[in-house]
Amino acid sequence: MALVVFTGGARSGKSSAAQDLARTRLADGVGVTVAVFGHTSEGQDFEYAERIRRHQADRPAGFHTQEYDGELHWLDTPRDELLLVDCLGTLLGRVMEGEWKRICPEDSLAEADNDVLPEGFEEACTERFDEIVTALRARAADTIVVTNQVGDGIVPFFASGRLFRDLLGRANRHLVDSADAAYLTVAGRLISLSALPRAAHWPHD
């Protein structure tokens, strides 16, 4: 059983590459479940709803899609099926929203203080997200994880954005360390991270 990770920036082609790989397993007779973490009915974000619609249209008819509902039932995909997680960044956003509602039920995460997060929020998000990443790394079946590459741009203005960046960046590192194959997607091309060194060496004279 294999764990494969695709990371990259927005519109880099990571979801398409992951779906193409999952499609090869489908052709071999392996069932494919796609775990997604957004709902078109939420709010009035029509741009995000259109993005979800495009992703849905791109998936092969044989893929079974399961939406995240705040629990981890999507991790219980049968061991003879491939689980495609698309994507880890959106899942982290859902985790942070859920913990915020639990700790600050009268406020929204969008109204968070720029510089200070409520007591216990960072710890709760870290514990919850670490649980998910650990479960993905330990899953005894084929798993593909699509995740956003973060931290290459400016420092986020909001404390919640900085927490998101830090949690996802650390999760990406742990997943790539555990992966049987990992790829950085750049402009539709794949760079094998698994083939790259983990440590730097002083250049020879």
Cis check: omega of the bond before 87, within 30 degrees of 0: yes
pLDDT for res 132 = 93
pLDDT score, position 40: 44
- In the chain, the domains with their CATH numbers are 3-157+168-185 (3.40.50.300)
Q: Which two tokens stand for residue 191?
A: 């760079």
Measured in degrees and rounded to the nearest 5, phi and psi for residue 82 equal -85, 135
Question: What Rg, from alpha-carbon coordinates, does the chain have?
Answer: 18
For 29, left (φ over 0), alpha (ψ -120 to 50), or beta?
A: left
Phi, psi (deg, nearest 5) at residue 135: -65, -40
pLDDT digit string (tens) for the chain, length 205 residues: 899 999 999 999 999 999 999 999 999 999 999 998 875 444 545 555 555 555 566 666 689 888 876 567 778 888 889 999 999 999 999 999 999 999 999 888 877 778 889 999 999 999 999 999 999 999 989 999 999 999 988 888 899 999 999 999 999 999 999 999 999 999 999 999 999 999 998 998 5
In the chain the beta strands, taken as DSSP E runs, fall at 3-8, 31-36, 63-67, 81-86, 143-148, 181-186, 189-192
Q: Which of 131, 133, 33 is nearest to 84 (CA)?
A: 33
CA distance 121 to 205: 50
To the question of pTM greater than 0.85 for the whole model, the response is yes
Can you give the pLDDT at residue 56? 60
Look at residue 41 in the predicted model and tell me its pLDDT. 45
pLDDT for res 55: 57
Residue 60 has what pLDDT?
65
